[in-house]
Structure 1
Amino acid sequence: MSWTEVRRDERIVEWERSDGHATLRLRHGPNAWHVRFDRLHQSPEGRGYESRRFDDEAAARETLDEWKAAYDVDES
């Protein structure tokens, strides 16, 4: 599957997985960066949620890329 950017503004960038069952979000707060994964209850994999806080953007984006690969699912 793939991830498609569905939101971008001055604080938040969000991607949706192509099956529509999961999102990833990168948010810049006043003092930190946050990365969040959220998977719906309806997903064949079941509900999932993970969130982490980072002091710098590079570490947040590295985790985001890792989660995009880890939370991707095979369409076959």
Structure 2
Amino acid sequence: MSWTEVRRDDRIVEWERTDGHATLRLRRGPNAWHVRFDRLYQSSEGTAYESRRFDDEETARETLDAWKDKYDVDEA
């Protein structure tokens, strides 16, 4: 599967997984960057949530890219 950008504004960029059961979000806060993964309970993999805070954008984006690979699933 792949990820599709579904939201972009001055603070948030969000991607949705092709199956519609998971999202990734990069958010710029007043003092930090936040990356979060959220998978719905309807997913065959079950529910999951992970969130991390970063002081710099580069590290946040590196984590986001790693999570895109980590939380991707093969289409059957």
C-alpha deviations, 1:34-71, integer Å up to 9, x for none?
Answer: 00000000000000000000000000000000000000
RMSD, aligned CA? 0.2
Query: What percentage of aligned pairs have identical amino acids?
Result: 83
TM-score (norm 1): 0.99
Q: Can you list the C-alpha shifts for 1:1-34, whole angstroms capped at 9, x where unaligned?
A: 0000000000000000000000000000000000
- Consecutive unaligned residues of structure 1, counting only runs of 5 or more, are none
Alignment map for 1:4-23 (pairs within 5 Å): 4-23=4-23
Give the aligned partner of residue 75 of structure 2: 75
CA–CA distance in structure 2, aligned partners of residues 34 and 5 of structure 1: 17
Structure 2's unaligned 5+ residue stretches are: none
TM-score (norm 2): 0.99
Count residues with an aligned counterpart: 76
